[in-house]
């Protein structure tokens, strides 16, 4: 078989997305970047009804959005290196985590006036809220390493050409392996967690019981401020 047709090479695909998003957020993804990456992730999981965490979200719109910059109106203003404790189990675990961090400490400072980025630390934090069989998508200008080869495997790499004289980006899809002894359930069969769904349904539709209603009114963490559209549209 010709080398470029090998199984490893079949994991790689390329897109060309030359147009910026209308928001023109500094360091933002190109137009369609977020949608296409999530569509591909759903296809890999063979599942439409999925829970998404959008980490370092900037102006990305889908799922539960976390960013340290309050100006982008995230659902939760938090540091990616240490956000799980504050969630207090209220949201997650997730089927997909899409992460678009600053590409260097210098960029973090220059573009967002924020601190250093520690890849090992924030990916370990993600691991706490990613379901087994779920996908961690790291969008970067470097080919980022597998955060933990014992736990993760690369299932897809998307190389994205943008405008001329711009460096391409690469989105690596790391799938969290099923732990030994876990059920043989197909990873694509994992659903959104009850706690996550509960919050969403309550906010997007009629409260089903006074108990659930009180769940919306009393926020688990004052920093978690759900956007009004989050429940209806942003989950998908
Ligand atoms: C490359 S931008 C994301 C752009 C986004 N994907 C878009 O298309 O709009 C990186 C984001 O990470 C945020 N950020 C930087 N350091 C962070 C940290 N420690 N925790 C959470 N967010 C952080 C910045 O505020 C910025 O919005």
Residue of the CA atom closest to atom 16 of ligand 1: 114
| Total domains in the fold of the chain | 1
Neighbours of 3 (CB within 10 A): 7
Pocket test for ligand 1, best of 52, 62, 112 (most atoms within 8 A of CB): 112
With a pLDDT cut of 70, the percent of the chain lying above it is: 77
Q: Which alpha helices (H) appear in 80-193, and where do they start and end?
A: 84-87, 105-112, 119-129
Residue-level pLDDT at 67: 98
Domain of 77, in residue numbers:
13-178+185-234
In this predicted structure, the answer to whether residue 116 has a pLDDT above a threshold of 50 is: yes
Average predicted confidence (pLDDT) for the chain: 84
Q: What is the CATH number of the domain that holds 78?
A: 3.40.50.150
Query: pLDDT tens digits for 136-184?
Result: 999 999 999 999 999 999 999 999 999 899 999 999 999 999 988 775 4
In a domain, 85, yes or no: yes
Pocket test for ligand 1, best of 64, 114, 121, 141 (most atoms within 8 A of CB): 114
Q: What is the mean pLDDT of residues 39-62?
A: 97
In this predicted structure, the answer to whether residue 192 has a pLDDT above a threshold of 80 is: no
Instruction: Indicate the pairing of strand 130-140 with strand 169-176.
Output: antiparallel
C-alpha atoms less than 13 angstroms from C-alpha of 15 in its C-beta half-sphere: 20
In a domain, 97, yes or no: yes
**Residue in the structure block whose two tokens are 């047709």:** 5
Q: How many residues does the chain have?
A: 236
The set of protein residues with a Cβ atom below 6 angstroms from ligand 1 is: 25, 27-29, 56, 58-60, 67-69, 72, 79-81, 100-102, 108, 112, 114
In a domain, 56, yes or no: yes
Cα–Cα dist 32/13, whole Å = 16
In this prediction, residue 224 has a pLDDT band, given cuts at 50, 70 and 90, of confident
């Amino acid at each position: 078989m010709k080398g470029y047709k090998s199984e490893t090479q079949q994991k790689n695909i390329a897109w060309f997305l030359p147009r910026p998003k209308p928001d023109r957020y500094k360091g933002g993804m190109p137009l369609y970047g977020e949608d296409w990456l999530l569509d591909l992730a759903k296809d890999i999981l063979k599942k439409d009804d999925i829970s998404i965490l959008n980490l370092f979200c900037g102006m990305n719109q889908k799922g539960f959005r976390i960013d340290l910059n309050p100006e982008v109106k995230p659902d939760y203003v938090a540091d990616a290196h240490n956000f799980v404790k504050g969630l207090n189990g209220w949201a997650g675990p997730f089927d997909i985590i899409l992460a678009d961090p600053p590409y260097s400490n210098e960029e973090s400072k220059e573009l967002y006036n924020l601190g250093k980025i520690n890849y090992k630390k924030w990916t370990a934090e993600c691991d706490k809220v990613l379901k087994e069989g779920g996908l961690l998508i790291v969008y970067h200008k470097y080919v980022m390493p597998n955060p933990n080869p014992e736990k993760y495997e690369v299932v897809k790499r998307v190389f994205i050409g943008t405008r001329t004289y711009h460096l391409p980006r690469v989105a690596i899809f790391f799938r969290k392996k099923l732990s030994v002894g876990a059920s043989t359930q197909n990873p694509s069969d994992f659903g959104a967690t009850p706690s996550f769904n509960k919050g969403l349904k309550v906010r997007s539709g009629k409260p089903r019981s006074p108990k659930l209603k009180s769940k919306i009114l009393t926020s688990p963490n004052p920093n978690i401020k759900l956007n009004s559209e989050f429940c209806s549209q942003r989950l998908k």
